């Protein structure tokens, strides 16, 4: 949510930003907010005048009572009651305008960074750089579901009986490799100065609307029936929500945290679920990172954060590339975002394994997270990034460490988390 003062003073910039995000249907919101803001400020002025008049009359009543002029005082009391009635109606009007402004402001996208490429959807994202050689071996690499099946490591049929499409059982060495990746990612982030946390896996609606747009919420979140609770789609939501309505001391910044959680997503939309494999599912696990920092430091942290994911995947022998997300592919609260994509030697193309974003002060405004500075309180900036999400990260490790004999070499750095196991051998 942008600053209404900025919108008031720069409506053309806000409108151009909406056009850059290809959301022309939202242009009308800017004019509606300006009109409502004018009415609201007039109502506030009327309220201030009424309160001032009431205070003056109340003082007059006191003076008259001291002078024994009770009848005159009672006459003025009647005027005060009239003012109270007008104030009550005016306060209702102020509340109405404020709520209508808020509802519209929540739908207006954040101002994107000038460096963001302009484009309609993810097909117009821009490759920035590559890390590692994207090798295609001289032998065939099976679909990841077949690789895992050869280790007796995947059971989607049983999960279909217990939970439906979009769920799975991971078994044996594959399940162990999955957890080894998460455990290493946890320790890797701790070694890089981030504080480890396990957050709540359910959050209230006011936190949901504080960290994401309404469109994202409808497409992603599972609601708990009969309760004001949602299952998290990523631990970023509850980790940023941790600081809701807090005033943070300037010297405590930056706050750098890494969190583990299961994640639950509807996966509604054009992509749909993957019937056979594990690329797009309803439930997965993730190691996440968040940073709360001074506004002037957010871009530096943004670059540090996505680089951490690059280095992690390279330590697992996975080539990756960085893509700048275009304007139309970015959620409304984001200022700038990039994807890290892993190389798939089977498909001979890259696929997304990480998303890093800076959201400016949008989440802080929605959640009331401020910094106590020398010249008063102000909103900080929030950032988030995927360290690793499985099973997508698992797919990347399996394909890039697959051997012609059907075995998978365990990346050396993960072997201590696998009891020293160097290779996973086929069961079939």
Return the sign of the alpha-carbon dihedral for residues 414, 417, 421, 423: negative
Q: For domain 4-105, is the CATH number 3.40.50.80? A: no
Distance CA 414, CA 313 (A): 12
Q: Residue range 89-100: average pLDDT?
A: 94
- The pair of three-digit structure tokens given for residue 93, joined into one six-digit string: 């009007």
Q: Do 4-105 and 122-424 agree at the fold level? A: no
| pLDDT tens per residue across span 315-357 | 999 999 999 999 999 999 999 999 999 999 999 999 999 999 9
Distance CA 168, CA 281 (A): 9
What are the beta bridge partners of residue 424? 408
Question: In which band, very low, low, confident or very high, does the pLDDT at 65 lie, cut at 50, 70 and 90?
Answer: confident
Q: Residue range 260-276: average pLDDT?
A: 74
Question: In which band, very low, low, confident or very high, does the pLDDT at 402 lie, cut at 50, 70 and 90?
Answer: very high
Instruction: Answer yes or no: pTM beyond 0.75.
Output: yes
Q: What is the pLDDT of residue 271?
A: 56
Name the residue with tokens 């949008």.
362
CB 254 within 8 A of CB 224: no
Q: What is the 3-state secondary structure (H, E, C) of 125-164?
A: CEEEEEECCCCCCCCCCCCHHHHHHCCCCEEHHHHHHHCC
Q: What is the pLDDT of residue 158?
A: 95
CB 403 within 8 A of CB 419: no
Class level of CATH domain 122-424 = alpha beta
Confidence check: pLDDT of 270 > 50: no
Rg for the chain, CA atoms, rounded: 28
Nearest residue to 237 via CA among 221, 256, 254, 255: 221
CA distances from 336 to 220, 325, 328, 387 (A): 21, 8, 11, 18
Q: Residue range 142-151: average pLDDT?
A: 95
Instruction: Break the chain into its structural domains and give their ranges.
Output: 4-105, 122-424
CA distances from 232 to 106, 205, 221 (A): 20, 11, 7
What are the beta bridge partners of residue 170? 154
Q: How confident is the prediction for the chain on average, in pLDDT?
A: 94
What are the beta bridge partners of residue 19? none
Q: Residue range 309-316: average pLDDT?
A: 98
- The pair of three-digit structure tokens given for residue 258, joined into one six-digit string: 């890494």
Q: What is the pLDDT of residue 275?
A: 65
Question: In which band, very low, low, confident or very high, does the pLDDT at 274 lie, cut at 50, 70 and 90?
Answer: low
Q: What is the b/e burial string over 83-106, where b = at least 16 CB atoms within 10 angstroms of the residue's CB?
A: beeebeebeebbeebeebbeebbb
Distance CA 323, CA 304 (A): 15
């Amino acid at each position: 949510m942008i600053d209404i003062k900025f919108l008031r003073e720069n409506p053309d910039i806000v409108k151009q930003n909406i056009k850059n995000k290809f959301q022309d249907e939202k242009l009308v919101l800017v004019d509606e907010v300006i009109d409502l803001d004018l009415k609201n400020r007039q109502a506030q002025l009327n309220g201030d005048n009424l309160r001032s008049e009431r205070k003056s009359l109340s003082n007059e009543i006191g003076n008259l009572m001291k002078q024994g002029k009770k009848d005159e005082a009672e006459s003025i009391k009647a005027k005060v009651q009239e003012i109270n009635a007008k104030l009550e109606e005016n306060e209702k009007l102020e509340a109405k305008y404020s709520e209508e402004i808020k509802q519209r402001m929540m739908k207006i996208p954040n101002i994107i960074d000038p460096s963001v490429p302009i484009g309609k959807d993810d097909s117009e994202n821009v490759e920035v750089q590559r890390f590692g050689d994207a090798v295609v071996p001289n032998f065939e690499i099976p679909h990841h579901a077949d690789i895992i099946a050869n280790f007796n490591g995947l059971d989607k049929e049983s999960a279909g009986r217990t939970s439906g499409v979009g769920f799975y059982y991971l078994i044996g060495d594959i399940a162990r490799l999955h957890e080894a990746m998460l455990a290493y990612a946890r320790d890797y982030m701790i070694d890089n100065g981030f504080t480890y946390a396990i957050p709540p896996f359910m959050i209230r609606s006011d936190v949901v609307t504080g960290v994401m747009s309404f469109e994202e919420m409808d497409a992603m979140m599972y609601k708990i029936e009969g309760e004001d609770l949602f299952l998290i789609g990523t631990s970023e939501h509850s980790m940023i929500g941790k600081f809701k309505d807090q005033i943070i001391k300037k010297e405590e910044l930056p706050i750098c945290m890494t969190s583990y959680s299961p994640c639950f997503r509807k996966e509604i939309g054009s992509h749909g679920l993957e019937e056979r494999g594990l690329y797009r599912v309803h439930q997965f696990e993730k190691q996440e990172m968040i940073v709360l920092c001074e506004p002037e430091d957010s871009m530096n942290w943004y670059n540090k954060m996505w680089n951490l994911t690059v280095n992690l995947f390279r330590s697992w022998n996975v080539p990756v590339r960085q893509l700048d997300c275009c304007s139309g592919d970015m959620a409304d609260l984001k200022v700038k975002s990039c994807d890290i994509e892993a190389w798939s030697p089977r498909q001979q193309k890259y696929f997304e394994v990480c998303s890093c974003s800076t959201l400016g002060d949008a989440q802080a405004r929605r959640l009331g997270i401020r910094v106590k500075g020398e010249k008063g309180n102000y909103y900080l900036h929030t950032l988030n990034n995927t360290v690793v999400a499985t099973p997508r990260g698992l797919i990347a490790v399996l394909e890039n460490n697959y051997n012609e004999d059907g075995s998978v070499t365990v990346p050396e750095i993960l072997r201590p988390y696998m009891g020293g196991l160097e290779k996973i051998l086929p069961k079939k």
